[in-house]
Amino acid sequence: MRHAYCGQPTMAKRLLASLLLVALGSGTVVAMATDQGFSRGMVVSSSEEASQVGQDILKNGGNAVDAAVAVGFALAVTYPEAGNLGGGGFAVVRTPKNQIVTLDHRERAPLKARPDMFLAEDGTLDADLSLESHLASGTPGTVDGLLALHERFGRLSRRAVMAPAIALAEEGFKLNPILAGRIQALLPELSVRPASRTKFTHNGNAMAPGHRWRQPDLAKTLRRIADEGRAGFYQGPVAKMLVAEMIRGKGLIEQADLDAYRSIWREPIHGRYRGHDIYSMAPPSSGGILLVQMLNMLSLYPISNWGPGSTAQHHLMIEVARRAYADRAEHLGDADFYPVPVEKLLDKSYARDRIAGFDPMRATPSRSVRHGSFNESPQTTHYSVIDADGMMVALTTTLNSSFGNKWVVAGAGFLLNNEMDDFAASDSEANQYGLLGSVANAIAPGKRMLSSMTPTLVLKSGEPVLITGSPGGSTIITTVLQVILNVLDHGMTGVAAVNAPRLHHQWQPDTVMHEPNALSQTSADTLRSKGHQLTEVEVIGDANSIWIKEGRFYGAKDPREPGAAVGW
């Protein structure tokens, strides 16, 4: 099983990366994190090139949405593990007038999808089909979503915000060692994927760090989108290439799916915690609901008195997550297809009932924790943007697995997603993250698959406090939760909150995953004595965040992945 928290830089590499700090003039600083506060703009992403693109857009008169859209298209060029044209995502936006809106541009199941399409004759999940094949691809939403964001809130022209991504694809950029290594590790899987081999090699050979990587087919696709808007991707030559790729690979996406795709503006999930307003995504993301549900349970305890990294907090957070993820498995899905009990899950009295059986001395076995009764790649990427007017953007985007299903659309230069694995193929088969599901997240034509993406804004009395989010599959929600707890309960700076070690629990499998430095030996021994099973993983999440204090912006580029915080 591949995990979102694997294959990322070691702690030594992360510490070296955190020393990066480059002053560019005009008050701009590119860094892994910014101790210096800025007032005119901040962009934090997992690509130094993409972060710089966003900041250039701000400096040339664009607002935070212009910058976010420019970053999104740039990531499709410079961060192909998760940045994409062939995937989808979610965005949370706060306007200068303090309006909060969210955009769902999650992928949809093709109209010919079937509930049993990934099951073998014996009823078990065929992971090759759900992860590696053309059948694994849902109808892409990224392009429609970025264009919808720009059309509603953007200030600059579409060509202006897309020009930097086109230039990066046409002129190329120098591969950093991490991306070069990930591409090299991918090469054995490309022998049966000719278009992918063309894109990710130099004349069939591995590209070394420092190689200037040019992507001419992707540049042509981006230019068509810049010139024609939505029609440049969902109709015309690019759409024909995508449909032809589906026919070659026996996939399901047809022109009718592309014609029918539309992003959806949804009401944000809203919660209150320690006097702060928390805004995040509604279904088909499970992130917002689980985040607020867990905060509701945690609000009943004096976490700030216990201190960061305390065994008491770890034990409580594990038990809270156990209960919330059990509810996720039963009740969460696309609310356009299934009656998700949103209000009940967010109700503080429900949270009180849910945690009522908490025992501070003992772990609750997951087998005894069922969903409450009532009357979510390994590779994703998150970026955060704020401008001088206080417009905030939290945007998380993904192909699901790293490089999606690894199939590049011939002639169009972009990767396909494998998001269909995020559906529940059956109620007894977990997806690649170990997550279980029910009929709420069963495959259905046109349905959006459940996600764990959790782009989140935190405000106090209407003023910005934090922009955060993360990749990491099922670990996304607990990553965001811990960043928020570190800031609001423990008074950490944004940088300290993001850098702090993490752990994760998701009900099933019944194990606590933790980073190497997350638990002291005493804490680990105490948790085991309470009945917790512990599993060490390399890293969890990549929470690219912006912390706002007294009107100044502090960028927190998570050192677990490459990238940059660019302040102006």
Q: What are the C-alpha distances in Å from 239 to residues 14, 140, 158, 170, 435?
A: 40, 11, 20, 21, 33
pLDDT band at 32 (very low <50, low <70, confident <90, very high): low
112 versus 431: the higher-pLDDT residue is 112
pLDDT band at 1 (very low <50, low <70, confident <90, very high): very low
Contact 36, 560 (CB under 8 A): no
pLDDT band at 174 (very low <50, low <70, confident <90, very high): very high
What does the block give as tokens for 411? 């002639």
| Residue 437: per-residue pLDDT | 45
Mean pLDDT of 516-544: 96
> Residue 463: enclosing H or E segment and its boundaries?
strand 463-468
Mean pLDDT of 423-452: 73
pLDDT band at 28 (very low <50, low <70, confident <90, very high): low
> Residue 219: enclosing H or E segment and its boundaries?
helix 216-228
| Residue 178: per-residue pLDDT | 95
Share of the chain above pLDDT 70, in %: 89
Q: At residue 279, does pLDDT exceed 60?
A: yes
Residue 443: exposure state from Cβ atoms within 10 A (0-12, 13-18, ≥19): buried
Q: Which of 380, 396, 456, 475 is catalytic?
A: 380
| Residue 518: per-residue pLDDT | 96
CA 94, 280, 446, 244 torsion-angle sign: positive
| Residue 17: per-residue pLDDT | 39
Mean pLDDT of 420-439: 62
Mean pLDDT of 190-217: 95
Contact 165, 74 (CB under 8 A): yes
Q: What are the C-alpha distances in Å from 165 to residues 52, 82, 84, 409, 433?
A: 11, 15, 12, 18, 31
pLDDT band at 379 (very low <50, low <70, confident <90, very high): confident
Q: Which of 29-33, 125-129, 211-215 has the highest mean pLDDT?
A: 211-215
CATH numbers and ranges of domains, the chain: 59-89+113-261+381-441 (no CATH), 266-378+454-567 (3.60.20.40)
Strand order in the sheet with 269-273: 269-273, 276-280, 456-460, 463-468, 545-549, 552-556
3-state secondary structure of 274: coil
Q: At residue 6, does pLDDT exceed 50?
A: no
Beta bridge partners of 30: 22, 566
Query: Across all residues in the chain, what is the average pLDDT?
Result: 90
Closest CA to 421 of 137, 167, 190: 137
The pair phi, psi for residue 474, each rounded to 5°, is -65, -20
Annotated catalytic residue 201: no
HEC-encoded secondary structure of 306-364: HCCCCHHHHHHHHHHHHHHHHHHHHHCCCCCCCCCCHHHHHCHHHHHHHCCCCCCCCCC
Strands 456-460 and 512-514: unpaired
| Residue 439: per-residue pLDDT | 80
For tokens 């509810």, what's the residue?
Answer: 327
pLDDT band at 30 (very low <50, low <70, confident <90, very high): low
Summarize pLDDT for 302-361 with one digit per residue, the tens: 999 999 999 999 999 999 999 999 999 888 999 999 999 999 999 999 999 999 988 988
Q: At residue 425, does pLDDT exceed 90?
A: no
Q: Rounded to whole angstroms, how far apart are CA atoms 556 and 483?
A: 11
Q: At residue 292, does pLDDT exceed 50?
A: yes
Summarize pLDDT for 79-117 with one digit per residue, the tens: 999 999 999 999 999 999 999 999 999 999 999 999 999
What does the block give as tokens for 281? 């995504």
| Residue 33: per-residue pLDDT | 60
Summarize pLDDT for 212-221 with one digit per residue, the tens: 999 999 999 9
Mean pLDDT of 55-63: 97
Q: At residue 134, does pLDDT exceed 60?
A: yes
pLDDT band at 367 (very low <50, low <70, confident <90, very high): low
| Residue 27: per-residue pLDDT | 57
Q: At residue 301, does pLDDT exceed 60?
A: yes
Beta bridge partners of 279: 270, 457
Q: Residue 198 carries which DSSP code? A: H
